[in-house]
C-alpha cells in the first residue's frame, strides 16, 4: 500500500510540472483554469479526499498566497490546510473578484456615450459595469459617473434639481436622446430649397455689386456681406 501511495504521489508531482503556479495574476492564469488543471491531475492519481487535495494543490500556489491561506485558515478555525473547494473559493474572492471589480471601476472612468449610439444598450452596459465594480445604483457616485459619461448636449439636462438619482438621470437622458434623434431625422427630411427671403437678399446683393461695378467702385465684402 505504501508503494502504491508513493507511486501516486510521484505521478501527481510529475503531472504538476505541467501546471503553472498560481501567483494571483488572474489575467495570465484565471482561478478556474488553475482549478481545472489541478483537478485533472488529482483525478489521474485518484486522490479524492478534499483535505489531501488542498495539501497537494498548495504545492502549486505561490508562497505568499500559501501564507495568506494559512492565516485565513487560522483566523477562521479551519483545520489543517482546509479543503480544495475552500481554497478555490478563497482564491476567487481575493483575486478573481477583486481584479474584476478593479477593472470595472477603471472602465467606468473612461466609459463615454455618443449621441449616435443606442442609449438603451449603453444603459444596460453601464448598469452591468456598476455591478461588477461593486457600486450600488443608489450610490451618489453612480450618478456622477453616469453624468460624466454623457455628451454635453445631454449632460446639461442632468444637472438640475429634479435629477437626484441614477434612475432619474437615465430616464432624462433617454428622453433627451430620443428628442435629439427626432430633430436630426427631421432635418434630414427637410427639402433643401431656398426660402423667398434668402432669394430676395441674393438679388439685392447682386444689384449692388453690378451698380458699384458700373461706377468703377470696388465691392466691399465687409460693407455688403
User: Are 92 and 163 part of one and the same domain?
Assistant: no
Give this prediction's pTM: 0.49
Provide the pLDDT for residue 225: 42
CA–CA distance, 187 with 164 (Å, rounded to integer): 33
Indicate the SS3 state at residue 85: helix
Phi, psi of 46 (to 5 degrees): 75, 25
Tell how far CA 203 is from the center of its chain. 58
Considering the domain boundaries, does residue 197 fall inside one? no
Domain count, the chain: 2
- pLDDT band at 26; cut points 50, 70, 90: confident
Indicate if 42 and 24 belong to the same structural domain: yes
Residue 11: which domain range?
Answer: 2-102
Measured CA to CA, the distance from residue 23 to residue 35 in angstroms comes to: 13
**Is 217 within the bounds of a domain?**
no
Q: Mean pLDDT, the chain, as a whole number?
A: 80
- Quote the pLDDT of residue 138: 83
For residue 126, report the phi and psi dihedrals to the nearest 5 degrees.
Answer: -65, -45
Q: Is the pLDDT of residue 183 over 90?
A: no
pLDDT of residue 200: 55
- Which whole number is the average pLDDT over 175-199? 74
* Residue 158 maps to a domain: yes
Residue 39 half-sphere exposure toward CB, CA atoms < 13 A: 11
Predicted confidence (pLDDT) at residue 209 exceeds the cutoff of 50 = no
Please say if the pLDDT value at position 171 is more than 90.
yes
Which pLDDT score is estimated for 154? 93
Amino acid at each position: 500500500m505504501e508503494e502504491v501511495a508513493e507511486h501516486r504521489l510521484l505521478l501527481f508531482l510529475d503531472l504538476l510540472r505541467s501546471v503553472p503556479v498560481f501567483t494571483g495574476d488572474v489575467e495570465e492564469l484565471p482561478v478556474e483554469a488553475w482549478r481545472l488543471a489541478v483537478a485533472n491531475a488529482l483525478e489521474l492519481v485518484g486522490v479524492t479526499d478534499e483535505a489531501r487535495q488542498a495539501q497537494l494543490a498548495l504545492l502549486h500556489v505561490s508562497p505568499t498566497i500559501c501564507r495568506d491561506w494559512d492565516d485565513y485558515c487560522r483566523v477562521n478555525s479551519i483545520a489543517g490546510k482546509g479543503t480544495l473547494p475552500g481554497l478555490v473559493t478563497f482564491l476567487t474572492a481575493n483575486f478573481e473578484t477583486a481584479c474584476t471589480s478593479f477593472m470595472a471601476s477603471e472602465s467606468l472612468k473612461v466609459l463615454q456615450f455618443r449621441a449616435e449610439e443606442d442609449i438603451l444598450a449603453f444603459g444596460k452596459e453601464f448598469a452591468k459595469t456598476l455591478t461588477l465594480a461593486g457600486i450600488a445604483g443608489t450610490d451618489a457616485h453612480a450618478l456622477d459617473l453616469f453624468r460624466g459619461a454623457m455628451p454635453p448636449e445631454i449632460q446639461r439636462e442632468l444637472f438640475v434639481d429634479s435629477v437626484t438619482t441614477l434612475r432619474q438621470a437615465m430616464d432624462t437622458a433617454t428622453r433627451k436622446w430620443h428628442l435629439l434623434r427626432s430633430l436630426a431625422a427631421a432635418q434630414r427630411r427637410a427639402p433643401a430649397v431656398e426660402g423667398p427671403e434668402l432669394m430676395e437678399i441674393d438679388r439685392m446683393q447682386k444689384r449692388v455689386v453690378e451698380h458699384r461695378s458700373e461706377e468703377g467702385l470696388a465691392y466691399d465684402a465687409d460693407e455688403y456681406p
